């Protein structure tokens, strides 16, 4: 294979053959294609896109670069959820134990924070002792026992994606719909699922801020899933404000536990129930959305979902006492209340600014090797459209020291704007299936 010819071909807008994608990815993973050539090819894909046959071949080659979980003969269906990333998005922490306690196995494979968005692995690792580096064998054994494991992308799963993603991150080629779709779906399809639900974020705090592009991404991923025997559904959810109140790793774990106790913020509970209900219906564990919702609410009200979470925490090395005592989590050294600077209506709570501030406070990474401070972040108790009075407490900053508090207060001043009128956009706007997009009204 002469790589420069392939690059020129793609650069000039022509399609590579499926066999060319297969050998290219296999040779790249084997170390026979240098990063500089792959970078050039990725940039050509960024500008020229991929045809359907090319996208399918790239995704299949990425899956084939590693192992797959197999649940053949498993006594219960297997499902997972993936979010395209946001601020305050701790849905996975609640959803996995809720769905598992309704009789669906959940191999929840998650990522780390990326840019201004938080990552489920960083949140889980704020629990002292919690290990996310399970092997596929360990994950499978835990799923057999508890119905759920929460792990990172193991070296065995889609290693081509791991390398390509790292390369895209430093070559300006992340924001490409076919590359994002192949990356996400190669990992998810390697989990051997019976169903996948996608939480595609839209709005100023999402990676794809434009709603039409978010829908295109959802459709592309659904097409890949369905063609590989994995029924896939997407919900388009709002990321023009943070989800829930807590933003920051340990703070979000604490809020997720409140949610598992049934007392989480309404928006967080709504998105979690909606995605979880889709999972139950998709794999036949509930006849319709209403029945799924009832089963999920019961899993919370009975304490089974919280108990499953405690078992998972214990199995993965954390202290399960956490579910009754949030003081098990590391605590910020400096905390300060933020008050409304005028009376009026909250116009905006900008998630991107909040996410960037968490990184600046040390709660996210500026470089891959950076350690993350689990204690820092924000609790923001207002949403767009809320009326506030001057001097009313509307948020708190959690930081390492006084300088961090000052940075956090200043970020809140930029992120939260109070004016004459504000409006909350719909939390869940569309439901997208292989049949097309429709306004969201609950799982079928």
Q: Which residues are catalytic?
A: 82, 161, 168, 183, 187
Nearer residue to ligand URA within complex by CB, 7 or 206: 206
Closer CB to ligand URA, 104 or 180, in the complex: 180
Q: Please report how close the Cβ of residue 175 comes to ligand URA at its closest, in angstroms.
A: 9
Q: CB of 85: closest distance to ligand URA in angstroms?
A: 6
Nearest residue (CB) to ligand URA, 24 versus 405: 24
Query: Of 152-171, which residues contact ligand URA (CB under 6 A)?
Result: 165
Nearest-approach distance from CB 306 to ligand URA, in angstroms: 29
Q: Which stretch binds ligand URA (CB under 6 A): 25-33, 176-184, 211-219, 244-252?
A: 176-184
Q: Considering the complex, what minimum distance in angstroms separates the CB of residue 123 from ligand URA? A: 16
The smaller minimum CB distance to ligand URA, of residues 165 and 398, is found at 165
- 3-state SS of the chain is CCHHHHHHHHHCCCCCCHHHHHHHHHHHHCCCCCHHHHHHHHHHHHHHCCCHHHHHHHHHHHHHCCCCCCCCCCCCCEEEEEECCCCCCCHHHHHHHHHHCCCCEEEEEECCCECCECCHHHHHCCCCCCCCCCCHHHHHHHHHHHCEEEEECCCCCCHHHHHHHHHHHCCCCCCCHHHHHHHHHHHHHCCCCCEEEEEEEECCCCCCCCHHHHHHHHHHHHHHHHHCCCCEEEEEEECCCCCCCEECHHHHHHHHHHHHCCCCCHHHHHHHHHHHHHHHHHCCCCCCHHHHHHHHHHHHHCCHHHHHHHHHHHHCCCCHHHHCCHHHCCCCCEEEEEECCCCEEEEEECHHHHHHHHHHHCCCCCCCCCCCCCCCEEEECCCCCCEECCCCEEEEEEECCHHHHHHHHHHHHHHEEEECCCCCCCCEEEEEECCEEEECCCCC
Which residue is it, tokens 């580096």?
133
Min dist CB 156 to ligand URA, Å, is 16
The residue number with the shortest CB distance to ligand URA is 183
Round to whole Å and give the CA distance between 177 and 183: 10
Instruction: Find the part of the chain contacting ligand URA (CB under 6 A) among 127-135, 178-186, 349-357, 366-374.
Output: 178-186
- Contact range with ligand URA by CB under 6 A, out of 60-68, 177-185, 218-226, 421-429: 177-185
∠118-124-126 over CA atoms, to 5°? 90
Distance CA 104, CA 75 (A): 10
Q: Which is nearer to ligand URA, 65 or 308 (CB)?
A: 65
d(C-alpha 341, C-alpha 327), whole Å: 32
Question: 116 vs 311, which CB is nearer to ligand URA?
Answer: 116
Q: How distant, in Å, are the alpha carbons of 75, 87, 206, 267, 275 from that of 43?
A: 44, 28, 22, 38, 34
Stretch that binds ligand URA, among 102-110, 174-182, 191-199, 256-264 (CB under 6 A): 174-182
CB of 221 to ligand URA, least distance (A): 11
Q: Which is nearer to ligand URA, 206 or 412 (CB)?
A: 206
Nearer of residues 111 and 231 to ligand URA, judged by Cβ = 111
Residues 99-128 close enough to bind ligand URA by CB under 6 A: 111
Site for ligand URA in 308-367 (CB under 6 A): none
| Residue 182 C-beta: closest distance to ligand URA, Å | 8
What number of chain residues touch ligand URA (CB under 6 A)? 7
Report, in Å, the least distance between residue 180 CB and ligand URA. 4
Binding characters for ligand URA, 180-219, by CB under 6 A (x = yes)? x--xx-----------------------------------
Give the interface with ligand URA as residue ranges (CB under 6 A). 111, 165, 174, 179-180, 183-184
């Amino acid at each position: 294979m002469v790589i420069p010819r392939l690059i020129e071909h793609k650069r000039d807008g022509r399609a590579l053959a499926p066999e060319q994608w297969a050998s290219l990815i296999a040779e790249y993973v084997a170390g026979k294609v240098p990063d500089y050539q792959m970078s050039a090819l990725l940039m050509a894909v960024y500008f020229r896109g991929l045809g359907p046959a090319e996208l399918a071949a790239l995704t299949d080659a990425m899956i084939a670069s590693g192992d797959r979980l197999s649940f053949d003969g498993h006594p219960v269906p297997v499902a997972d959820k993936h979010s395209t990333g946001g601020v305050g998005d701790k849905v996975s922490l609640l959803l996995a134990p809720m769905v598992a306690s309704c009789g669906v196995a959940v191999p929840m494979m998650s990522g780390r924070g990326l840019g201004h968005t938080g990552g489920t692995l960083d949140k889980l690792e704020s629990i002292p002792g919690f290990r996310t580096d399970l092997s596929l064998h360990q994950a499978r054994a835990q799923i057999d026992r508890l119905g759920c494991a929460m792990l990172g992308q193991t070296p065995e799963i889609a290693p081509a994606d791991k390398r390509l993603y790292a390369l895209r991150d430093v070559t300006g080629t992340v924001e490409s719909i076919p590359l994002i779709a192949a990356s996400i779906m190669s990992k998810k399809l390697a989990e051997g699922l019976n169903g996948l639900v996608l939480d595609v974020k839209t709005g100023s705090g999402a990676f794809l801020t434009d709603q039409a592009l978010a829908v295109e991404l959802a459709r592309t991923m659904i097409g890949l899933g369905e063609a590989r025997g994995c029924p896939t559904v997407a919900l388009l959810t709002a990321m023009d404000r943070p989800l829930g109140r807590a933003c920051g790793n340990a703070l979000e774990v604490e809020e997720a536990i409140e949610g598992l106790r049934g007392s989480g913020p309404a928006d967080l509970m709504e998105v979690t129930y909606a995605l979880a209900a889709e999972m139950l219906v998709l794999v036949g564990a509930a006849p319709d959305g209403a029945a799924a919702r009832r089963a999920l609410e019961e899993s919370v009200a009975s304490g089974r979902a919280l108990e499953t979470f405690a078992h998972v925490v214990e199995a993965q090395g954390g202290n399960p006492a956490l579910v009754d005592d949030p003081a098990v989590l590391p605590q910020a050294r400096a905390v300060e209340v933020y008050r409304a600077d005028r009376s009026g209506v909250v116009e905006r709570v900008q998630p991107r600014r909040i996410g960037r501030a968490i990184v600046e406070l040390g709660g996210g990474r500026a470089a891959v090797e950076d350690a993350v401070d689990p204690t820092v972040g924000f609790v923001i108790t207002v949403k767009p459209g809320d009326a506030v009075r001057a001097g009313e407490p509307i948020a708190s900053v959690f930081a390492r020291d006084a300088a961090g508090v000052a940075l956090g207060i200043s970020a809140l001043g930029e992120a939260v704007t109070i004016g004459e009128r504000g409006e909350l956009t719909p939390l869940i706007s569309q439901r997208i299936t292989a049949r097309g997009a429709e306004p969201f009204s609950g799982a079928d």
